[in-house]
Structure 1
């Protein structure tokens, strides 16, 4: 228990905030991780250069953004199903050395899994996220609420490298003209990466992402054998929806420099 007081990112009450592991501790989030301390404009010339200043953290990635009741309730309702889902798929990835392109059968509780994913997005975002997406509050605090509100989609991919990605709500697109910018928030931690978005089609972000919104169309107690096929994608730099390899980014940097000469 912490002594941090604040507004809960889920229920909106001013309470004592507790430590929330994202993803849950039993979903491979209980070890050491490195936090790189970027300075302002450090990415201007080459985003591939890591800063010299870094911090080694223990005990998994955590956030103090959810009150004890919301933390305990969502953990009890959804975390175990999600952790089982992660363990099964991590075993598959280890067997194929991260290069799977097969349909992988998963017997899961789909609604509990996707509700845990949405809970994690509340944990990593700021308190205003709850206000902007109040329909999602109802979705996770009511176990029997389904499906996901129609304006949202959850996209997924396999994640095996150590470049983690935790990105709060962002917007991509042309802000001056054209279609309305797309909302996106992303969590990438082995064995999965997840995006929550209001994009009308996954092609607006990356065609290699798999739409798993259908997980939300099953009753809370129902288990299903899901034939899941996900691409394994890199997250080299901390830009939402960017799955270029290191080589592709290096080539883009060289082209940009040559145009400036």
Structure 2
């Protein structure tokens, strides 16, 4: 049976620093950037199969007990503030009743935003393994001033849905409908934005956060957001004509969450 597995024992190896320590809960996405509520969670495999009527309930959002207190505090003080401010600002636009232009700009610190996204994806896995992504990016997120690695792309688009979707270490076609080339992906979606992390330059005409980064971690830039680019809530991972999906052990930690029915 595939089930939502999002915590380990209270004492274990931290997903980020790899030290043995008391493990703490990491909210994914960070809790101050969204409205926390009770959610019903299942794995992506449950959603893709007939076993889709069993849920695990969390009273305060999606969270993983996988990182130590020191790393959790570092993420909170260094990256989460940037992630949360960016999400809250975009959320205000999506909730606005005003007539808005097609393209808006939101000022943020892109280097820190990128590292926050990567950090929470690394924490969103109940098993520690040696996949290339984790090995490369543990050091990257542990050092605020570390340079952006080559072949990192973080594509983004608005996500006007109340679902939270977190999927690690999966493969699908680099371009949907083209089965000649496959790439590895990691996905984080929550209101008001979706992030698709990959080493692939194929991007479905999506903008890439990395193009806004430079060598200064505190550099600020205006991030362009296309308010008219809206995909379905389960795009691009949905299995249909033109797309297939492959996942490994990490799928047990994947989460598709929706507000709990009262």
Relative to the length of structure 1, the TM-score reads: 0.76
CA apart distance, 1:106: 1.0
Matched, 1:229 2:226: yes
Contact 2:79 2:116 in 1 (8 A): yes
Q: Which residue of 2 aligns with 1:104?
A: 104
Instruction: Say which structure is richer in strand.
Output: 2
Contact 2:155 2:197 in 1 (8 A): yes
Contact 2:105 2:225 in 1 (8 A): yes
Residues 199-258 of structure 1: per-residue CA shift (max 9 Å, x gap): 1321xxx33x3211124325122222333335222223xxx72369xxxx6xx6xxxxxx
RMSD of aligned C-alpha atoms? Answer: 3.0
1:66 and 1:134 mapped to 2: Cα distance?
15
1:75 and 1:106 mapped to 2: Cα distance?
21
The correspondence of residues 184-203 of structure 1 with structure 2, limited to 5 A, is 184-202=185-203
Contact 2:157 2:225 in 1 (8 A): no
Contact 1:235 1:242 in 2 (8 A): no
Q: Which residue of 2 aligns with 1:162?
A: 162
Relative to the length of structure 2, the TM-score reads: 0.75
User: Which of 234, 241, 246 is the matching residue for 2:236?
Assistant: 241
Q: Which residue of 1 aligns with 2:211?
A: 214
Contact 2:163 2:191 in 1 (8 A): no
Q: Which residue of 2 aligns with 1:255?
A: none
Q: Which residue of 2 aligns with 1:90?
A: 91
Q: Name stretches of at least 5 consecutive residues in structure 1 with no aligned partner.
A: 253-261
The correspondence of residues 1-261 of structure 1 with structure 2, limited to 5 A, is 4-36=10-42, 43-44=48-49, 51-95=52-96, 102-125=102-125, 126-128=127-129, 132-146=133-147, 148-173=148-173, 181-202=182-203, 206-207=204-205, 209-229=206-226, 231-236=229-234, 241-242=236-237
2:156 aligned counterpart, secondary structure: strand
Kindly name which structure, 1 or 2, has the bigger radius of gyration based on alpha carbons. 1
CA apart distance, 1:77: 0.6
Q: Name stretches of at least 5 consecutive residues in structure 2 with no aligned partner.
A: 1-7, 242-262
Runs ≥4 residues deviating over 6 A: 37-40
